[in-house]
Amino acid sequence: MQYKTICSIVFVLICNTFANGQEIRIRGDVDFSFTYTNIKAGEDYSLETESKQDGVRMDIKKLKRQAYWRVTVNKSDINWDNQVKVYVPRTSSGNGNGSVWGGTNYTLINNMPQTFMQGQGLLNNIYLQYKLSGISVELPANTYYTDIVYTLYEQ
């Protein structure tokens, strides 16, 4: 009896050791590009601009059965002008046996992580849209880069 119990414990521990944990997967990139055709002489750029509603997709995978989770978002600037603010809402609730709440309003993405949305269970194809504000001819001509980081916490 003692032998079988210890064998079971070892088996479970082995499974735990080599099992992959929860996973968040992001697919897609976002490129905002302006040209001189976007404005006429005398005008400024529209202060706000949005990406496609389905340009970036998020999958929540490999959770423990119907586990609760939350996702935080932050940005990691490579070359970014602080005059330009980045916002994200989710535009879909994804497919799968899970559910999601929060994240439908525009969330300002800072360099510090903050909770973006929460949910339960596995989901695929949660679409994300981005909005930039503060676009102006005052911005020095350049190509600006930042990384948008999503972190999944299983609860």
Contact residues toward other proteins (CB under 8 A) are 2-3, 6-7, 9-10, 13-14, 16-17, 21-36, 39-44, 56, 75-76, 84, 86, 130, 132, 135-155
Considering the complex, what minimum distance in angstroms separates the CB of residue 129 from other proteins?
12
Phi, psi of 18 (to 5 degrees): -100, -5
HSE of 28 in the Cβ direction (CA atoms, 13 Å)? 17
CB closer to other proteins, 21 vs 54: 21
User: CA nearest 34: which of 79, 74, 75, 84?
Assistant: 84
Residue 24 in contact with residue 56, Cβ under 8 Å? Answer: no
CB closer to other proteins, 102 vs 153: 153
CB closer to other proteins, 93 vs 135: 135
CA torsion 110-111-113-119 (nearest 10°) is: 50
Residue 58 in contact with residue 126, Cβ under 8 Å? Answer: yes
CB closer to other proteins, 105 vs 155: 155
